C-alpha cells in the first residue's frame, strides 16, 4: 500500500514574491512522506495552472512568467495519488506586482530665504509601487531620518536657515521594494533674499512728491500763469 501523503510544501526556489513584469519565478511542490508516483497540481485562486507527475521523491517544479497583473495573487499546490480521490493541499504563496519609482522632484514654496527664516522642502515621486521611502540630503550629508509614505503624497521636512552655509544644494532620494531602483532628485538651492533698504521707501515718496509738483506746475501754466502775464501787459 502506498504511504499516506502529507500536506505538500510549496516553496519559492527562484525569484521573489515581489515581482516585476516579464519576471520568471519557479515554485517547488513536494509531499514528504509519500510513495511515488505522485501527481502535483498548481492552482491560482482555485484555478488549475499546471500539473506534473513524479515517479520518484523529487519535487515538482513549476516555472511561471509574470506577464500581466492577473498572474499575481495566491498560489497553492495539491498532491495526490493517481486514480485516487481526495489529495492534500499545501501552504499558499502570494505574489505582489511592483513598479519602479520615477525620479523624485524636490521643491519648496519659496526659493528665496534669509537668515533666521523657517523653510520647507518636499520630495515626491509620481509613479512607483507604495510604500515609498524618502530621505533628504544637503550636499552628501543626510539631514533627515527616512520617511516612509504609505500613500501617494510628498515627504516634507522643515529647515531653519541659521547661517550662510544653509544656502547650499539640497537633494532627496526615493526608493521602494523594486530592486536596485534608488532615484535621486534634482538639486535645489535657496537664494539669499535681498534686504530692502530703510531709505528706499523715503526715496520713492520724495520722487512721487516731486513728480506731483512738476505736474501741478505744468497744469498751472495755461490757467494761472499765462492769464496773469497777459493781464500785466
Tell me, yes or no, whether 165 and 110 share the same domain. Answer: yes
Domain of residue 124: give its range: 105-192
Q: What percent of the chain has pLDDT over 90?
A: 57
pLDDT at 223 over 60: yes
Do 74 and 153 lie in one domain? The reply is no
pLDDT of amino acid 197: 47
Question: Are residues 14 and 89 both part of a single domain?
Answer: yes
Domain boundary at 97, 118, 133, which?
A: 97
Q: What is the pLDDT confidence band of residue 187, given thresholds at 50, 70 and 90? A: very high
Q: Which residue has the higher pLDDT, 78 or 221?
A: 78
User: What are the residues facing 147 on neighbouring strands?
Assistant: 134
Whether residue 117 sits in one domain with residue 52: no
On whether residue 206 sits in a domain, the answer given is no
Q: Which residue has the higher pLDDT, 35 or 185?
A: 185
- Please indicate, yes or no, if residue 202 is contained in any of the structural domains: no
- pLDDT tens digits, 84-128: 777 899 999 999 999 999 999 999 999 888 888 999 999 999 999
Report the predicted TM-score, pTM, of the whole model to 2 decimal places: 0.58
Pairing of strands 60-66, 141-142: unpaired
CATH code, 111: 2.60.40.10
φ, ψ (nearest 5 deg) of residue 216 = -65, -40
For residue 204, being part of any structural domain is answered with no
Cell numbers for 160: 531653519
* 46 inside domain: yes
Work out the average pLDDT over 176-192: 91
Boundary-marking domain end, from 97, 124, 158: 97
Phi, psi angle pair for 62, to nearest 5°:
-115, 120
Higher pLDDT, 82 or 233: 82
Question: What pLDDT does 218 receive?
Answer: 76
100 DSSP β-pair partners: none
Tens-place pLDDT, residues 123-180: 999 999 999 999 999 999 999 999 999 999 999 999 998 888 888 899 999 999 888 8
Residue with cell 531709505: 199
Count: domains in the chain: 2
What's the pLDDT score for residue 225?
60
* 121 and 172 fall within a common domain: yes
Report d(CA 120, CA 141) in Å as an integer.
17
CA dist list (Å): 231 to 146, 162, 221, 226, 228: 88, 72, 14, 9, 5
- Predicted pLDDT at 201: 62
Q: What confidence tens digit (pLDDT) does each residue in 73-84 have?
A: 999 999 998 767
Q: Is residue 151 domain-resident?
A: yes
Amino acid at each position: 500500500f502506498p504511504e499516506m501523503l502529507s500536506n505538500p510544501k510549496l516553496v519559492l526556489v527562484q525569484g521573489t514574491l515581489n515581482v516585476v513584469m516579464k519576471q520568471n519565478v519557479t515554485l517547488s511542490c513536494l509531499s514528504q512522506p509519500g510513495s511515488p508516483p505522485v501527481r502535483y497540481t498548481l492552482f491560482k485562486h482555485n484555478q488549475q495552472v499546471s500539473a506534473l507527475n513524479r515517479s520518484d521523491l523529487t519535487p515538482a517544479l513549476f516555472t511561471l512568467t509574470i506577464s500581466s497583473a492577473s498572474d499575481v495573487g495566491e498560489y497553492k499546490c495539491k498532491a495526490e495519488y493517481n486514480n485516487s480521490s481526495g489529495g492534500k493541499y499545501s501552504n499558499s504563496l502570494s505574489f505582489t506586482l511592483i513598479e519602479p519609482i520615477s525620479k523624485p522632484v524636490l521643491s519648496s514654496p519659496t526659493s528665496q530665504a534669509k537668515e533666521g527664516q523657517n523653510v520647507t522642502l518636499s520630495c515626491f515621486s509620481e509613479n512607483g509601487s507604495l510604500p515609498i521611502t524618502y530621505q533628504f540630503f544637503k550636499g552628501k550629508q543626510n539631514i533627515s531620518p527616512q520617511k516612509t509614505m504609505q500613500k501617494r503624497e510628498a515627504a516634507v521636512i522643515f529647515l531653519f536657515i541659521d547661517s550662510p552655509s544653509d544656502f547650499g544644494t539640497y537633494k532627496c532620494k526615493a526608493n521602494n521594494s523594486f530592486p536596485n531602483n534608488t532615484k535621486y532628485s534634482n538639486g535645489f538651492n535657496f537664494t539669499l533674499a535681498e534686504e530692502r533698504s530703510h531709505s528706499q521707501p523715503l526715496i520713492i515718496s520724495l520722487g512721487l512728491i516731486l513728480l506731483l509738483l512738476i505736474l501741478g506746475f505744468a497744469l498751472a501754466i495755461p490757467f494761472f500763469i499765462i492769464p496773469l502775464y497777459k493781464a500785466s501787459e
